[in-house]
Amino acid sequence: MMSLVRPELSGIKPYVPGKPIDEVKRELGLETVVKLASNENPYKVPDAVLEAAKRALSEMHRYPDAASYHLVRAIAKKLGVSPDEVIVGNGSEYIIDTLMKVFVSPGDEVVYAVPSFVVYRIAASVMGAKRVEVPCKDYRHDLEAMAEAITDKTKLVFVCNPNNPTGTIVRRDELDQFFASVEGKRLLVVMDEAYFEYAKDPNYPDGLQYFRRYGNVVVLRTFSKIYGLAGLRIGYGIAPKEIVSIYNTIREVFAVNVVAQAAALAALKEDAYVSWVSMKVYEEKKKLYEALSKMGLPYVESEANFVLIKVRDSKLAFEEMLKRGVVVRPTDSFDLPNHIRVTVGTPEENEVFLKALKELLPLLR
């Protein structure tokens, strides 16, 4: 049967998510596990969001609104765009996959930084695209090199800002220069801003400004991170009307379930909660920096809700942390060996992590 499989799919390495808490408990016989591997919001969602989700369960015997009518309009109002410039999907990954289907044919080129979100590589490979991987420079996107890598065959360029797994940002002046250098080229720039709400650097650019200025920009955001809806899978994007129209033509009919729509609609009203989580993560991140500096472990300052830490052996760090009930993310699958990515958790979770890290210092430095 393997002879029937599309040749483009051979050799694709699957996305490796963070280990689920229940799985770790079963495998290692642990009663308590702290998961800091998937960049989730560790704080419970507001009661209003939870209640909206519960109410939606009474409609679970019905198909959801295929157009996500109310959610699309709420997103449009919040961001100051037209409803026909909004796309929603079963997580940002789904939207990325669908954009690939819309734009990429076998042999077309897709440009992105490495290390960055692994889904760009997987989705491009599935479509038979040529992957143009531009190495990061000092853990940051090298936009000048990315612009130079663009050819007449380039269809999509992904800019992950803040970048996953490094947490670094592309500054406003760098992005201005990048767009000036690619203006007029027949391609689409996808600004992946999954961690947008966490960034506090005054030089961090809002992708919507570039969407409004240019006609070839898509901005992706998500409810999975700061809004705390990772388990419901819902992402959204802002795109030119003609792209939204094509996207809606080929996407799954019922791409966002009824509970996700209800919870996301309620979450959009929780500005105070979003600000609180963002500040809480920022404060806890500073504590992690201080502790890592005292331990002599190199790290990358992050504008997201995670920290990248350099270690001697990432696989060993992952396994030894796991034995101590802490799940972190080795970044080998991002083509970044000898590093682990650690989500900023609650104060209590971070203390457990730092205690385990201190025990392992002789193995990590």
* Residues 247 and 344 both lie in one domain: no
* Residues 105 and 190 both lie in one domain: yes
Residue 249 clears pLDDT 90, i.e. is over it: yes
Kindly report the pTM of this predicted structure. Answer: 0.95
Residue 304 clears pLDDT 90, i.e. is over it: yes
* Residues 95 and 21 both lie in one domain: no
* Residues 286 and 153 both lie in one domain: no
Residue 14 clears pLDDT 90, i.e. is over it: no
* Residues 73 and 185 both lie in one domain: yes
Residue 80 clears pLDDT 80, i.e. is over it: yes
* Residues 214 and 328 both lie in one domain: no
Q: What is the mean pLDDT of the chain?
A: 96
* Residues 318 and 329 both lie in one domain: yes
Decide if 238 contacts 209 (C-beta within 8 A): no
What pLDDT is recorded for position 222? Answer: 99
Domain count, the chain: 2
What pLDDT is recorded for position 253? Answer: 94
Domain limit, last residue, from 267, 298, 328? 267
* Residues 59 and 171 both lie in one domain: yes
The rounded Cα 205 to chain-centroid distance in angstroms is: 17
Q: What are phi and psi of 146, to 5 degrees?
A: -65, -40
Measured distance CA(186)–CA(55) in Å, rounded: 46
Token digits for 191?
């600004």
The range of the structural domain enclosing residue 180 comes to 47-267
* Residues 209 and 307 both lie in one domain: no
Q: Which CATH number covers residue 290?
A: 3.90.1150.10
* Residues 103 and 175 both lie in one domain: yes
Q: Average pLDDT in the 144-159 region?
A: 98
Would you call 27 exposed, middle or buried from its count of C-beta atoms within 10 A (0-12, 13-18, 19+)?
exposed
Calculate helix-pair angle for 21-28, 314-323, nearest 10 degrees.
Answer: 80
Q: Which CATH number covers residue 169?
A: 3.40.640.10
Residue 161 clears pLDDT 80, i.e. is over it: yes
* Residues 253 and 282 both lie in one domain: no
Domain limit, last residue, from 202, 234, 267? 267
What pLDDT is recorded for position 13? Answer: 76
Tokens 């796309």 belong to residue = 87
* Residues 151 and 87 both lie in one domain: yes
Reported confidence tier of residue 32, pLDDT bands at 50, 70, 90: confident
Q: pLDDT digits over 310-319, tens only?
A: 999 999 999 9
Domain limit, last residue, from 251, 267, 283? 267
